[in-house]
Structure 1
Amino acid sequence: MTATPHPHVRARDLGVPFDGTPGRWNAITDVPGVEVGYATIVEGAPGDDLVARTGVTAILPRGREGAGIPCAAGIHSLNGNGELTGRSWIEESGSLTLPIGITNSHAVGAVHTGIDRWAHEVHPGLAAEWMLPVVGETWDGYLNQINAGHVRPEHAILAIESAASGPVAEGNVGGGTGMNCYGFKGGSGTASRVVAFGDETHTVGVFLQANFGSRYELRLAGAPLGRETAAPNPYEDLEWFVRDGARARVRAGSGSVIGIVVTDAPLLPGQCEALARRVPLGLARTGTSGSHFSGDIFLACSTGNAGAFTSNIPTGAVGDDPYETARYVPWGRIDPYFEAVVQATEEAVANALVGARDMVGRDGHANVALPHHEVRAAFGGRADTAA
């Protein structure tokens, strides 16, 4: 099934204070042209032979029509215990051209194939050269039967075709469906910040697939909610290790996080990489110390300078105008964009936690969402929001 945006409670609704000015939807889609789509796969009851709690997220920096128009891009890995395909080419060329896919650890190949197939059908000229899709992953094997092959190429195509601007669903949707964060149910989360630059205004949007952190680490706006919660923590209960025996492959703090940053500020590839390096600072505000068992990989791209950073096979002579040109924010004025990434990342984590719901998955494995009443009690949020 496809998850469509719907009204839901977010961290600000519960009174959590955040720095900075968000965009209209407080989402990565506040960046003009950005589209987000989901394919959410929830199949089978907990006692069934095959239980799916997984999916695919598609992020299109220039929308479906703009696929193939390069964006300046950069990558940063805080901890490489994870996967983000296409990274070598981004590091070499400083550019990104295709939709970004995010899924579970064992579905990277299926999503990669799906993006290739979609591009071949919709943008055959682009596919005629070569394609190196970007696909990130985090591990959902606690709730999802991750080796059952639930995710297929058509799910990646469905996520791309459903992508839209506007409000973005959060929590148990898309690639984030079966994920856990800080020992609570986690998943998909997003936020944005507006940056003034002279007479212009730019937007920085962050999207996270949040599947990291130990329960005791969690802090929201400085409040130690992870240590003070009364909620059970079956995800970090070692009894399921014993029950699963050799199949147990997770421990507290593990799981990974993929972060995508998109901005319409005109930036160079090296500046995009510098933005990607700031994502961990936003994560750290929520408490994580970056577990060895967590793959934390981040990509940032700029939709400014459309027409630059191309890398097509030449078909003729150089010609009379052989150069590409690009403008960029001076390095000396880039700090507000760094700040925007940190602020939006912190809020995206909170939104993923608040947007998630309790879930029961394979073999009766269960996890609970961050209790809204505990967040409201900590920050004095509105009492009329859903529990």
Structure 2
Amino acid sequence: MQKPARIRDLGIIPGTLPTGPLNAITDVPGVRVGHTTIDNGADLHTGVTAIVPTALGGGERGVTAIVPAAAGGADQAAAPGGGRQATLPAAVAVGNGYGKLVGSTQIDELGVLETPILLTGTLSVFRVADALLTYLLDLDPAATSLNPVVGETNDGFLSDIRRRPITPDHVFHALSSASTGLPAEGCVGAGTGTAALDFKAGIGTSSRVVPGDAGAGTVGALVQSNFSGILTVLGNPIPADSVGEPGGNSCMIVVATDLPLDARQLGRVARRAVFAMGRVGSDFAPGSGDYAIAFATNSDRPPLPERDLRPVFQAAMESVEEALLNSLTMAHTITGFRGNTRHAVSHETLLRTVSTRP
């Protein structure tokens, strides 16, 4: 049994831009992440992952204002500093639309994000969306319209997906436990039962610091990886040994930044995030639902000039590439539903195959 390790800790360094302090999406100020993991050691390997912009979901962990009455917390609507902000600029990019991304059309239409972003298994999307509404309505008793955003990938190879085991309490826990620390990766939350490139995968995250004349900023990414292809690391293909198992399908990518970008610019960033899947070997299969959601936490300044976007695009692609690799190297082998097994990628094989650089 190998110990899970982040790809960078193995000595494999994707890209050239520096990372943030945690090398995670939570390096972006105003972004928190929480998980609820369901793993009964047998036929259930699933969960919920919450990406919570502080402006849209309340304060830090432990502040009662972010725990609704339905979750056992105080029935308060106001977050620290004067309440929940209405929206943040956002965009969605669709690599292939074979998925159930609740709330995407309103983001497309209005260019704004109204709620935290939740990830889960395919058939639990609608239960998660309903619980998210309950959570937010408790936070804001005056609200009459909200656009919950919930993405998914299919974890049915390792988990009994028809059971739809997610309850409101699972959703409330992921939201109310979200923190600004380093998020757990691998077989946790919405990644508990997912696989990618014929290996066990799950949740991964990474970040990059973007220099610039207008002031440095951070781009961070979090992924739920569950797609097919041949694992490729720094240009080196690493085929899986297993034969005949389904390759997995779909990928959810969330990109956050504190750089001042408008919705149109965030759409350009989100498209680059999907492109990054090709760097790690995705075959972009016809049954794969590949989506990226990008949002900005800083809308107080005018948007960056177009000429300054090149390093932002680079940061998005590098952070997504590394997040995808972390989702694999931080995962462990799981045997689940009907005895199906998905093996973790061998770190020894990675190091033997890949030419590393400092």
TM, length-normalised to structure 2: 0.88
What amino acid is aligned across from residue 218 of structure 1 in structure 2?
L
Aligned to 1:312: none
Give the drift of 1:377: 2.2
Instruction: State the match for 2:280 in structure 1.
Output: 286
Is 1:189 aligned to residue 164 of structure 2? no
C-alpha deviations, 1:270-327, integer Å up to 9, x for none?
A: 0011100001221111111200011001110111115xxxxxxxxxxxxxxxxxxx51
List aligned pairs for 1:340-359, cutoff 5 A.
340-359=315-334
Contact 2:4 2:331 in 1 (8 A): no
Name the CA distance, whole Å, in 2 between partners of 1:170 and 1:81.
Answer: 25
Instruction: Report the Cα distance in structure 1 between the residues aligned to 2:54 and 2:227, rounded to whole angstroms.
Output: 29
Among 227, 232, 239, the alignment partner of 1:219 is: 232
Q: Which runs of 5+ in 2 are unaligned?
A: 60-83
Deviation at 1:75, TM superposition (A): 0.7
| 8 and 123 in structure 1: CA distance in 2 versus 1, 3 angstrom threshold | farther
Could you list the per-position Cα deviations for residues 107-143 of structure 1 after superposition, in whole angstroms to 9, with x for gaps in the alignment? 0011101111111222333xx2211100000000000
Map of 1:267 onto structure 2: 261
What is the 5 A alignment of 1:33-52? 33-43=30-40, 45-46=41-42, 51-52=43-44
The residue that corresponds to 1:17 in the other structure is 13
What is the one-letter code of the residue matched to 2:353? A
Q: How does 1:191-206 map to 2 (within 5 A)?
A: 191-198=206-213, 200-206=215-221
Give SS of 2:147's match: coil
What is the CA distance between 1:88 and its match in structure 2? 1.4
Aligned residue number for residue 335 of structure 2: 360
Distance 2:88 2:267 in 1: 13
Instruction: Rate the CA distance shift 1:129–1:358 in 2: closer, same or farther, 3 A.
Output: same
CA-CA distance at 1:52 after TM superposition? 1.0
**CA separation in 1, counterparts of 2:123 and 2:14?**
35
2:49 counterpart SS class:
strand
**Per-residue CA shift, 1:225-282, capped at 9, x if unaligned?**
22xx5xx42xx525xxxxxxxxxxxx43x41000000000011110011100001221
> Given the alignment of the two structures, is residue 65 of structure 1 paired with residue 58 of structure 2, yes or no?
yes
Matched residue, 1:87: 104
Partner of 1:241: none
Aligned residue for 2:173, secondary structure, equals: helix
Structure 1: distance between partners of 2:116 and 2:223: 16
Contact 1:375 1:381 in 2 (8 A): no
Does residue 102 (structure 1) correspond to residue 119 (structure 2)? The answer is yes
Matched, 1:180 2:195: yes
Percent identical among aligned pairs is 36
How many residues get paired? 329
| Counterparts of 2:170 and 2:265, CA distance in 1 | 33
Instruction: State the alpha-carbon separation in 2 of the partners of residues 72 and 178 from structure 1.
Output: 31
1:39 alignment partner AA: T
Following TM superposition, by how much is the alpha carbon of 1:8 offset from its aligned partner in structure 2, in angstroms? Answer: 5.4
SS in 2 for 1:156: helix
* SS in structure 2 of the partner of residue 192 of structure 1: strand
What SS does the corresponding residue of 2:22 show, helix, strand or coil? Answer: coil
Larger radius of gyration: 1
Question: What's the CA shift string for 1:144-171, capped at 9, x where partnerless?
Answer: 0000121122211110011000211111
Q: Tell me, what secondary structure is at the counterpart of 1:353?
A: helix
Instruction: Give the structure-1-normalised TM-score.
Output: 0.81
Give the conservation status (yes or no) of the 8 Å contact 1:189–1:348: yes
Could you tell me how far 1:335 is from its partner in structure 2? Answer: 1.0
Look up the match of 2:144: 129
- Residues 112 and 153 in structure 1, CA contact (< 8 A), matched pair in contact too: no
Q: How do residues 110-121 of structure 1 correspond to structure 2 at under 5 angstroms? A: 110-121=127-138
CA–CA distance in structure 2, aligned partners of residues 95 and 194 of structure 1: 24
**2: distance between equivalents of 1:156 and 1:33?**
20
Task: Give 1:379 deviation, angstroms.
Answer: 4.1
Deviation at 1:380, TM superposition (A): 7.1
Q: AA paired with 2:234? A: A
> Residue 254 of structure 2 aligns to a residue in which SS?
strand
CA distance in 2, matches of 1:111, 1:381: 41
Q: Closer, same or farther in 2 for the Cα pair 1:195/1:361, shift >3 Å? A: same
Code of the residue aligned with 2:302 in structure 1: it is: R
Q: Please name the residue that 1:163 is paired with.
A: 178
The answer (yes or no) to whether the contact 1:15–1:380 under 8 Å persists in 2 is: no
- Matched AA of 1:360: T
Query: What is the identity, as a one-letter code, of the residue corresponding to 1:13?
Result: D
Match in the other structure for 1:376: 351
